[in-house]
Amino acid sequence: MKKKNTLCLAVLIAAALLSPLPGTARTVTLPNDISWVLTSDTYLGVVQQAYLNAINRLRVLAEGKKPGTWCVVVDADETIISNVVFQAEQAARGEGYTQEAWNAWCRRMEATALPGAIEFLGEVRELGGKVIVITNRQAPLREVTVQNLEKVGIPFDACLLREGPYRDDRDKTQRRADIEKGTVRNLPLGQRLPPLEILMLAGDQPHDLYKDKSFDEVKDRYGKDLIIIPNPMYGDGMGSTYQVPARRIQRPAAAQPRRDVITWQEAMDRVGETVTVEAEIIGFYDPATRGGAGPVRLNTDRDWDNSLAIIFFNKDGQFGDPARFDGKTVRARGRVQTFRDSVQLRVFGPDAIEIVD
């Protein structure tokens, strides 16, 4: 109850800051996803349940393992610590995610421990394992991230950010591989990690757990060595297009408000999330014109290897002639993903991309 009161108080404070007159407060209606995480006992119970079950499973996996030879790898945000207050404050202001706002929030070091996380990670150490945190927070946030984890009592042995040699390791595969090989770089001076067997992974997004696999390929591992924490606020599957016959839905009387739009550069740091990107298309590749198959690629920069590509599968020409996007500014909504070390925005339907200029 203490946590819920603290979070609700933060939202009331945010609402007061946005009040039109001194001394007055206005009512803020939060989106369902944020409200659920912020106030629901169900959310807290699901997270607690995940970690209690993980403890029981870990005891089986660690049986007979030599202490110091294995580890558990966990994501940070929305896995072991909660940033729902940040999401609520942004929503109360009528603003979406920005890198500047996120950095400012992180520097406040007010993220809280999620239910069961401290107990689970404490059990890892009791059983002789190491706790490795892999987060896609970047170099400027290293000190405040470590301090926030320590502040709320999260036990850990190493915290690997997306920095230095791991700057482009958005899907975390390079860091996981280096943990297993004992070649982790960018550790604090004097710290060293031996080769470690990863017994379990926990995260709120699929890329925290595995790469280039479908759910069906890994479903038997959930609850065994893969622990997923629910996060309806952002990330995998948010805003995906789902097509149903028009007769089954009731069209809104008025146009829906435009979703927050980001640049392709900002999207590069949002792997696993569904976002809306506005960018100028400076070239394209359509394999169909050469008798080939695969996705159409719209390029947002001449440095193709280090920029975001907008991709879609133009089956039966449903997107029209891709040449019509060339030289135009488009707004596209899709999922940010990686493919062979490149970053792509996967667009799932023709209604998710439009020419705006």
DSSP codes, 248-260:
GSPPPSSPPPPPP
Task: Find the CATH number of the domain harbouring 307.
Answer: 2.40.50.140
pTM metric for this prediction: 0.67
**For residue 9, is it within any domain?**
no
- Determine the structural domain holding residue 150 and report its residue range: 30-228
CA distance 67 to 174: 24
- Cβ atoms of 323 and 317 within 8 Å: the answer is no
192 vs 172: CA distance, rounded Å:
19
Cβ neighbors of 310 (< 8 A, separation 6 or more) are 277, 279, 281, 297, 298, 300, 330, 332, 334, 344, 345, 347, 353
Asked if residue 20 has pLDDT above 50, the reply is no
Which amino acid, 247? R
The answer to whether residue 157 is domain-embedded is yes
pLDDT given for residue 25 in this prediction:
54
Task: Tell me what the mean pLDDT of segment 191-213 comes to.
Answer: 94
Q: Do 111 and 217 share a structural domain?
A: yes
279 & 167 share domain: no
**Distance between CA atoms of 142 and 147, rounded to whole angstroms?**
9
> 201 in a domain, yes or no?
yes
Q: Are residues 264 and 223 in the same domain?
A: no
Residues making up the chain, counted from first to last: 357
Residue that is last in its domain, among 228, 247, 274: 228
**What confidence tens digit (pLDDT) does each residue in 100-148 have?**
999 999 999 999 999 999 999 999 999 999 999 999 999 999 999 999 9
The beta strand positions in the chain, using DSSP E, are 70-74, 81-82, 112-113, 130-138, 158-162, 197-203, 226-228, 261-262, 274-280, 283-285, 296-299, 308-312, 329-339, 342-346, 353-355
